Structure 1
Amino acid sequence: MLPGNRQSSADKPASALQGARYLLRGFACLRRARILPFVLAPLLVNIVIYGYSISYAGDLLQAFIDSWLHGLPDWLGFLRTIFIAIFYLGAALLVAVSFTWLANLVGAPFYGLMAEQVEKLNGETDATTALSLSTIPGIIWRALAREMQKLLYYLSRAIPLALLSLLGTFIAPLATLMPFIWFWFGAKMMTLQYVDYAYDNHGVGFREMRKSLRAQRRAGLGFGAITTLASMLPFFNALVVPAAVCGGTLFYMDTRLSKPNTHKQASETK
């Protein structure tokens, strides 16, 4: 945890470096026996998704690069290496963000329960969701509905950025800037994605969650940036997802503006 009292930490936003450390703390959580069951099933899903997606996306990207640079004059050949590096960086960022959403959609019910276990292991004794045949459908539905809400938020901003990237194919300076813009956007979305599970468990709406995170912009950027970079590593990113859920939950516990007085009851999931 951050130094000092947990609630008072919200009065002074943490630094980007402190925010980045939450992912490392999340990895440490994965060794806990109570967390492991919620890691294995989504992990298998992630491995399958990333394995096929990276192979398919790589072929498409190479075909696009060959087509786009086909008419480049010989005297501008030195630009080929630069543009290829930019294209691959942009593609890696898109893979890190876009394909993660599908894995998160499948694993969402597990991640909400994982976030709850992280809180219990860190002293939150009142965070409890009753699991039974009658409550599981409600848990799944609530988790998927929240993921769709985040997906719509993502698309409403990613589509304009994609159009701007398309414009960048005709404007070289813009093409150079777009990977950095995508990285900033991806870092923001990673923070929203993984901190949200704890907020949702406590009945905090998506809009209210975003408003709360504005008070922790620097810490949020640090957490999102390191998570984005780690998500760009093939197959290793399958472990990044559960670690980020754990780290995002710890982020919530340490930086929330005030401790909620009530939590969602098991009856709400029925």
Structure 2
Amino acid sequence: MLHAFTAIGRGTRLVLSPGMRRFVIAPVLVNLVLYAATLAYLFTHFGGWLDYWMLKVPGWLEWLEWLIWPLLVVSLLLMVFFTFTLVTNLIAAPFYGFLAEKVEWRLTGSPPDDTRSLMRAGVDALGRELVKLRYMLPRMVLLFVLGFVPGVNMFMPLLWAAFSAWMLAIQYLDYPMDNNQVSFSDMRRRLRARWWPTLTFGLGMSLATWVPVLNLVLLPGGVAGAVILWDHYYRHLPAVAR
């Protein structure tokens, strides 16, 4: 049985293998620049954010400050790095789509089921990212609002972690599915049909996002891992009409 974490490891080794490394240069550079900018912004503003939100804690919950403070720290960090991942993938989407195509060709010996030109595929990849943002943002806002609900906000780190796993599974598994002209709604249906590898892969990519320096290659490795999972778990599921 193929495990999601195994797929990420295999994918990372694959993108670093001879003949594949040149396809990860552009996404690695994008990740490097945005990662450095995110860390600089976080170090500059995080203390102010924390103080602001602690002032919002109701007086009758002040006795729980010792518990609320670390939960708030974790929630803010999860939200910042999840946003970082969204922005990174939005910018790197055409490169990741191209990388997914080359990985699939290497693994299966044939290109994806896609008749679009390279230029058209790149434009469509950006459009697909906007579709994903339209799906993700309302759910992010809902979680953000729930963070103000007394009692519920204590569970926010778990809710953010589960949300991140699902969203990152969508983010990365969408690259091979888009290359094979699987619609966004059909992709979500396939992911739900294989919910366990979907969520464990998303959890693995969430953890990969947090690994300093190594995440520069783990994220492209996740794209290759998504292609491996696509071929193993999702490709042969029956399609639905667009």
TM over 0.5: yes
Are residues 1:137 and 2:119 paired? yes
Tell me which residue corresponds to 1:248.
Answer: 226
Checking the alignment, whether the CA contact within 8 Å between 2:99 and 2:223 is kept in structure 1 is yes
Tell me which residue corresponds to 2:155.
Answer: 177
Tell me which residue corresponds to 2:178.
Answer: 200
1:129-173 deviation per Cα after TM superposition (whole angstroms, max 9, x unaligned): 799xxx4432221110011111111112111111111x23xx1x3
Map 1:53-92; keep pairs closer than 5 Å.
Answer: 53-69=38-54, 79-92=64-77
Checking the alignment, whether the CA contact within 8 Å between 2:75 and 2:157 is kept in structure 1 is yes
1:219-248 deviation per Cα after TM superposition (whole angstroms, max 9, x unaligned): 111111111022123443222220110111
Distance 1:69 1:160 in 2: 20
Are residues 1:50 and 2:35 paired? yes
**CA shift at 1:205, angstroms?**
0.3
| SS of corresponding position for 1:122 | helix
Cα gap change, 1:94/1:69 in structure 2, threshold over 3 Å: closer, same or farther?
Answer: closer
One-letter code of the match for 1:201?
A: N
Tell me which residue corresponds to 2:210.
Answer: 232
| Sequence identity percentage | 31
| SS of corresponding position for 2:181 | coil
Tell me which residue corresponds to 2:236.
Answer: 258
Query: Structure 2: which 5+ residue stretches go unaligned?
Result: none
Are residues 1:125 and 2:81 paired? no
Higher relative contact order, structure no. (Cα contacts within 8 Å, ≥ 6 residues apart): 1
Tell me which residue corresponds to 1:6.
Answer: none
Cα gap change, 1:204/1:68 in structure 2, threshold over 3 Å: closer, same or farther?
Answer: closer
Decide which structure has the larger Cα Rg and report it.
Answer: 1
Distance 1:124 1:211 in 2: 27
> Larger helix proportion, structure 1 or 2?
2
Cα gap change, 1:127/1:180 in structure 2, threshold over 3 Å: closer, same or farther?
Answer: same
Checking the alignment, whether the CA contact within 8 Å between 1:22 and 1:248 is kept in structure 2 is yes
**CA shift at 1:71, angstroms?**
9.3
**CA shift at 1:78, angstroms?**
7.9
Cα gap change, 1:69/1:93 in structure 2, threshold over 3 Å: closer, same or farther?
Answer: closer
**2:132 aligns with one of 126, 135, 150:** 150
Distance 2:205 2:81 in 1: 9
After superposition, the CA RMSD in angstroms is 2.7
Distance 1:26 1:125 in 2: 18
Tell me which residue corresponds to 1:111.
Answer: 96
| SS of corresponding position for 2:161 | helix
Tell me which residue corresponds to 1:11.
Answer: none
Cα gap change, 1:105/1:97 in structure 2, threshold over 3 Å: closer, same or farther?
Answer: same
Tell me which residue corresponds to 2:22.
Answer: 37
One-letter code of the match for 2:12?
A: F
Could you state the TM-score of these two structures normalised by the residue count of structure 2? 0.87
**CA shift at 1:257, angstroms?**
5.2
**CA shift at 1:127, angstroms?**
2.8
Checking the alignment, whether the CA contact within 8 Å between 2:82 and 2:164 is kept in structure 1 is yes
One-letter code of the match for 1:211?
A: R
Cα gap change, 1:56/1:151 in structure 2, threshold over 3 Å: closer, same or farther?
Answer: same
Distance 1:256 1:128 in 2: 14
Could you state the TM-score of these two structures normalised by the residue count of structure 1? 0.79
